């Protein structure tokens, strides 16, 4: 008899099946096939006892960067920027984007101060600039809302979601640039609550207009999972 193929052995291991009489005869004489079957049985056994991966808190990376004296190391990983979750992926230089975001914040600050002066003592008054609905992507369920609110010199995005599938993992809110190249993570969203996220005042003017909620596995990977659930686009 020829050797037993891996797929057959894998099926026996997974389903805890006894090999056919003919195969049993072969297995008693062939150490190679017997070894592979034992190995696959062990693997199938381990596979039904897998831990969920956990992510270390962000301070761990900051401590590593600090201990090694890597000045901008913390920025690189702590700044959770990822790529557009589409088939065409264009990677952006992270530092350039951080810089762009800082500039956006400064520009936004200037515009905000001017605006505040014009409307006098409205410094702490929240003004809703836009309110949009978040719609499910094809094949997904759930919906939500996103309000762009201007407060004094800054801006906030207030996000709600409902009817999302009960996840393994967590929901994350992203602001995606319409250039299709850049995105920024705003943070985690608990369904049923209002998530409030600070954003650069001029984010929409910079093209960051797509509000995206993704389901993220607990896998330690800070980038977008490519599993977007609901989405909407802020007006300019």
Partner 1 sequence: MSTTDAGDPSAADIAKGFADGREESLAEAYRRWSGLVYTLALRSVNDRGDAEEITQQVFVSAWRGRAGFDPETGTLGSWLVGVARHRIADHHAARTRHRRNVEAVIPAAAVSSGDEDRLVDRVVLADELDRLDDPRRTILKLAFYEDQTYSQIAEQLDLPLGTVKSHVRRGLLYLRTRLKEVTGDAS
Binding residues for partner 1, rule: CB under 8 A, are 6-7, 10-11, 13-14, 38-40, 42-44, 46-57, 59-61, 63-64, 67-68, 70, 73, 76-77, 83, 89-91, 168, 217, 219-223, 226
CA 34 → CA 1, 30, 48, distances in Å? Answer: 14, 6, 22
Reported as type and span, the H/E element at residue 29 is: helix 21-29
Structure tokens of 21?
């009489």
Strand order across the beta sheet in which 81-82 lies: 81-82, 183-189, 170-177, 208-216, 228-233, 126-136, 143-151, 154-162, 195-199
How many other C-beta atoms can be found within 10 angstroms of the C-beta atom of residue 164? 20
| Residue placing its CB nearer to partner 1 in the complex, 70 or 133 | 70
| Residue placing its CB nearer to partner 1 in the complex, 54 or 124 | 54
CA 133 → CA 75, 126, 168, 186, distances in Å? Answer: 32, 20, 25, 18
Local structure of residue 220 (DSSP, 8 states): S
What does the angle CA 63 – CA 68 – CA 71 come to, to the nearest 5 degrees? Answer: 80
What is the smallest separation between the CB atom of 50 and partner 1, expressed in angstroms?
4
CA distance 208 to 225: 19
- Identify the bridge partners of residue 214 per DSSP, sorted by sequence position: 172, 228
| Residue placing its CB nearer to partner 1 in the complex, 64 or 109 | 64
């Amino acid at each position: 008899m020829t050797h037993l193929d891996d797929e057959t052995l894998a099926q026996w291991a997974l389903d805890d099946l006894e090999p056919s009489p003919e195969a049993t005869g072969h297995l008693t004489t062939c150490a190679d096939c017997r070894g592979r079957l034992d190995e696959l049985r062990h693997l199938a056994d381990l596979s039904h006892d897998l831990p969920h991966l956990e992510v270390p808190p962000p301070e761990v990376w900051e401590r590593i960067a600090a201990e090694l004296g890597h000045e901008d190391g913390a920025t690189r990983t702590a700044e959770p920027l990822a790529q557009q979750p589409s088939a065409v992926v264009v990677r952006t230089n992270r530092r350039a984007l951080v810089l762009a975001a800082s500039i956006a914040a400064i520009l936004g600050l200037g515009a905000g101060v001017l605006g505040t002066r014009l409307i006098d003592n409205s410094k702490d008054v929240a003004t809703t600039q836009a309110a949009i609905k978040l719609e499910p992507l094809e094949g997904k369920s759930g919906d939500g809302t996103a309000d762009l609110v201007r407060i004094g010199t800054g801006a906030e995005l207030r996000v709600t979601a409902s009817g999302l599938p009960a996840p393994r993992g967590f929901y994350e809110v992203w602001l995606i640039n319409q250039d299709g190249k850049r995105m920024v993570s705003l943070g985690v969203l608990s369904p049923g609550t209002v998530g409030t996220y600070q954003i650069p005042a001029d984010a929409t003017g910079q093209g960051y207009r797509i509000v995206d909620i993704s389901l993220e596995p607990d896998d330690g990977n800070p980038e977008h999972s490519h599993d977007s659930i609901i989405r909407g686009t802020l007006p300019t």
